[in-house]
Structure formats: structure tokens, C-alpha cells
């Protein structure tokens, strides 16, 4: 029997944070035995904001290396770079034709980004979620492991799949998001109201996968908490709640249990334990990452082979789509 398909991409638009790891990357390896998995780098998405070409090339490789370092096995999963499979852009055009402008203008990510800067309000920023739907639908994905911030984009992908199927007959699998309960949204260390993001101008707001132990401990010490002074897992203490979620995500325990363990500790003691724990958890991955990056040829072989495999799967979907809409074959 054919296995179900799990699919996810990560943008190379900055260095990866523990938010990317906890919300997405960390989920990937566990899916490899039960599903046909495809993971990759969304470089087409990343040019919706200006990128330096040399940095983009470098970070694209880094994202593949981090996926492997976190346990994605290229023998089991397809690892690829989006721009190396032209089908994504082709399917996007067809999906654009069934996407309503109103739907796109309601996307919170677009609203946030467009409010922040008027300067670079380009058309790709607006149609970004259509490209994301094309990524997912091209491979008939059943499951999409992502963080909570991508839920609305997933809803659009489901919507477009259903609309196309309804208009032209059954073509696409309708995908489902896989979002961790407490780990779906890791918040900024400086403001627990906003998500931890690699594009945050304040470097103390996030922990990078590449940060060394001293940096991690320093950033955790500076994280905002509150003046209550008591370690509890409560909505009323959102800063502390976020730190407990991070701790729980790394140790795979319930955050309430962690709060219990530290019930008699001070914030400073808890923060130091958290910093140590994050650094210790990341160290083996950082070592694997360095080894992978040191062997650039092997890395290149992996993502090029991945693109070929992805192409041969996606091609079937695209020709079906082209036939259904009435393009000559």
C-alpha cells in the first residue's frame, strides 16, 4: 500500500532559530518511517523580501544541512530546493486563476508585512500563499508539519484543492496541517505577544540554532518574565510560559511538569537551567551540521538528486492539472 505523503519547506531568509526547530524541523525525522517525506528550502518564497544573492545561496545550503543535522535522512526522505523544480511556479499560475483577491488580502502574514513596510509591497508578497499551496498540492501531500503561524496558509491550500477538485473533478489530495500543541508557537524572548522570528531586529529576541553556549545563556537571562516571582504555568505569565514551553519542547515533557520541578526555584535559577539545557540539546546537532557543511560536494549531490526525484513526482500532478484545465498535451 502506498504510504501517505508528509511535506514541508523552510525559507532561507535568515539564520534558523529554535522556533523553526521546535515548530518544524524537530517534527520531521519522526515522520520518515511512516510516511513518504519531502522536505526542502523555499527559496522562491524568500525573494518576496530583498535578499543578497550570495547570502541566499549560502543559507539555502545551510537549511538543507540543518534538516539533515536534525535527523532527516536523505536515504529515506527527499531533500530539495524549490527553485530547482520549475513545476512549483507553473502550478502557482494555474492556482492563481482560482484564488480570490479577497482571500489573499485577509492573510494575516500579508497584512502584518504590508503594514510594516510600504516600500517593498510587491505582488509576490501578496500571492505568496498561492505558491505555498502549489508546493503542497504538487506532491499530493497528506500532512504538512509546520508551526502555528502557517495554519492560515494551510487553510488556503485546502480551500484551493477543494475548489479545483470541485471545478475540474478530483485532482488534488486535501492536505492537513500537523501542528504541535504547545510547541506550535515559540514566542519572542523580548515580547511574548509576538512569535520568535529570525527577522526580528532585536537579536536578543531569538536563539539561533548556531548560537554558542554563552550566547544562549546570556539571551535566556535577558528574556522578559514578570514581577510575580513564582514559577507556574499560567496564561497570566506569558513570558515564563514561553520559557517553560521551550524547556518542555526540548525535553519532550509536559510544561506543567517542568513548572512543578522548578516550583521552588527563582527565575534566575530556572533561566540558567534552561540556557544550559538548550545549549546541551543543540550541541550534537551543531556538530553534525559542521560535518555536513564541511562536505559540500555530498550536500550538492543530495539536493540535486532530491530535485530530480521531486520533479518526477510533481510532473504527474502538473500534467493532470494541465489536461483538466484544457491545455494541449
What distance in Å separates the CA atoms of residue 60 and residue 164, rounded to the nearest whole number?
A: 32
Find the distance separating the first CA and the last CA of the chain, reported in whole Å. Answer: 30
- Among positions 8, 60, 77, 225, the unique one binding ligand TYM when judged by CB under 6 A: 8
Residue from 253, 266, 177, 190 nearest 222 by CA: 190
For ligand TYM, give the closer residue by CB, 63 or 299. 63
Q: What are phi and psi of 3, to 5 degrees?
A: -75, 155
Strand pairing report for 78-81 and 143-145: unpaired
Residue from 174, 278, 171 nearest 223 by CA: 278
From residue 166 to residue 205, what is the string marking binding to ligand TYM with x (rule CB under 6 A)? ------------------xxx--------xxx--------
- Among positions 5, 6, 24, 38, the unique one binding ligand TYM when judged by CB under 6 A: 24
Helix axes 151-168, 108-116, angle to 10 degrees: 120
Min separation Cβ 129 and ligand TYM, Å: 8
Asked if residues 37 and 71 have their Cβ atoms less than 8 Å apart, the reply is no
Asked if residues 239 and 186 have their Cβ atoms less than 8 Å apart, the reply is no
For ligand TYM, give the closer residue by CB, 153 or 271. 153
From residue 223 to residue 262, what is the string marking binding to ligand TYM with x (rule CB under 6 A)? ----------------------------------------
For ligand TYM, give the closer residue by CB, 155 or 291. 155
The answer to whether 92 contacts ligand TYM (rule: CB under 6 A) is: no
DSSP state of 96: H
For ligand TYM, give the closer residue by CB, 184 or 275. 184
C-beta neighbour count of 167 within 10 angstroms? 11
- Among positions 37, 91, 107, 136, the unique one binding ligand TYM when judged by CB under 6 A: 136
Min separation Cβ 131 and ligand TYM, Å: 7
For ligand TYM, give the closer residue by CB, 88 or 227. 88
From residue 105 to residue 134, what is the string marking binding to ligand TYM with x (rule CB under 6 A)? ---------------------------x--
- Among positions 60, 77, 127, 150, the unique one binding ligand TYM when judged by CB under 6 A: 150
Report how many residues bind ligand TYM under the rule CB under 6 A.
26
- How far is residue 87 from each of residues 10, 242, 271, 302, 326, measured CA to CA in Å? 18, 39, 47, 19, 17
The residue with its CB nearest to ligand TYM is 23
What distance in Å separates the CA atoms of residue 237 and residue 219, rounded to the nearest whole number?
A: 19
For ligand TYM, give the closer residue by CB, 162 or 291. 162
Question: Of the ranges 53-61, 141-149, 159-167, 302-310, which one interacts with ligand TYM (CB under 6 A)?
Answer: 141-149
Please report the DSSP string for 217-262 in residue order: HHHHHTS---SS------TT-HHHHHHHHHHHHHHTS-HHHHHHHT
What distance in Å separates the CA atoms of residue 105 and residue 127, rounded to the nearest whole number?
A: 9
Catalytic residues: 113, 195, 198
What distance in Å separates the CA atoms of residue 12 and residue 58, rounded to the nearest whole number?
A: 9
From residue 40 to residue 79, what is the string marking binding to ligand TYM with x (rule CB under 6 A)? --x--x----------------------------------
Asked if residues 186 and 252 have their Cβ atoms less than 8 Å apart, the reply is no
- Among positions 5, 38, 65, 146, the unique one binding ligand TYM when judged by CB under 6 A: 146
Chain residues that interact with ligand TYM, rule: CB under 6 A: 8-11, 19-20, 22-24, 42, 45, 132, 135-136, 144, 146-147, 149-150, 153, 184-186, 195-197
Amino acid at each position: 500500500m502506498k504510504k501517505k505523503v508528509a511535506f514541508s519547506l523552510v525559507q532561507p531568509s535568515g539564520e534558523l532559530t529554535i522556533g523553526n526547530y521546535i515548530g518544524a524541523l524537530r517534527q520531521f525525522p519522526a515522520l520518515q518511517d511512516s510516511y513518504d517525506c519531502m522536505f526542502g528550502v523555499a527559496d522562491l518564497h524568500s525573494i518576496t523580501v530583498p535578499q543578497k544573492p550570495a547570502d541566499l545561496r549560502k543559507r539555502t545550503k545551510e537549511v538543507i544541512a540543518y534538516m539533515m543535522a536534525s535527523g532527516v535522512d536523505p536515504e529515506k526522505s527527499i531533500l530539495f530546493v524549490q527553485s530547482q523544480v520549475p513545476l512549483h511556479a507553473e502550478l502557482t499560475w494555474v492556482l492563481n486563476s482560482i484564488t480570490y483577491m479577497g482571500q489573499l488580502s485577509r492573510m494575516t502574514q500579508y497584512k502584518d508585512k504590508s503594514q510594516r513596510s510600504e516600500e517593498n509591497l510587491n505582488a509576490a508578497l501578496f500571492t505568496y500563499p498561492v505558491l505555498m499551496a502549489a508546493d503542497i498540492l504538487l506532491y499530493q501531500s497528506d500532512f504538512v508539519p509546520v508551526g502555528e503561524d502557517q495554519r492560515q496558509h494551510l487553510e488556503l491550500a485546502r480551500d484551493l484543492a477543494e475548489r479545483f477538485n470541485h471545478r475540474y473533478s478530483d485532482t488534488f489530495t486535501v492536505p492537513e496541517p500537523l501542528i504541535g500543541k504547545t510547541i506550535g508557537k515559540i514566542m519572542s524572548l523580548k515580547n511574548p505577544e509576538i512569535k520568535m522570528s529570525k527577522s526580528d531586529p532585536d537579536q536578543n529576541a531569538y536563539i539561533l540554532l548556531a548560537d554558542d553556549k554563552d550566547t544562549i545563556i546570556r539571551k535566556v537571562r535577558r528574556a522578559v518574565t514578570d514581577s510575580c516571582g513564582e514559577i507556574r504555568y499560567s496564561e497570566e505569565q506569558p513570558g515564563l510560559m514561553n520559557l517553560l514551553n521551550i524547556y518542555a519542547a526540548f525535553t519532550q515533557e509536559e510544561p506543567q511538569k517542568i513548572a512543578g520541578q522548578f516550583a521552588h526555584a527563582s527565575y534566575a535559577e530556572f533561566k540558567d537551567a534552561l540556557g544550559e539545557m538548550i545549549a546541551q540539546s543543540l550541541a550534537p546537532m551543531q556538530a553534525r551540521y559542521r560535518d555536513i557543511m564541511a562536505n559540500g560536494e555530498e550536500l550538492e549531490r543530495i539536493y540535486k538528486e532530491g530535485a530530480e526525484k521531486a520533479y518526477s513526482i510533481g510532473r504527474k500532478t502538473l500534467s493532470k492539472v494541465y489536461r483538466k484545465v484544457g491545455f494541449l498535451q
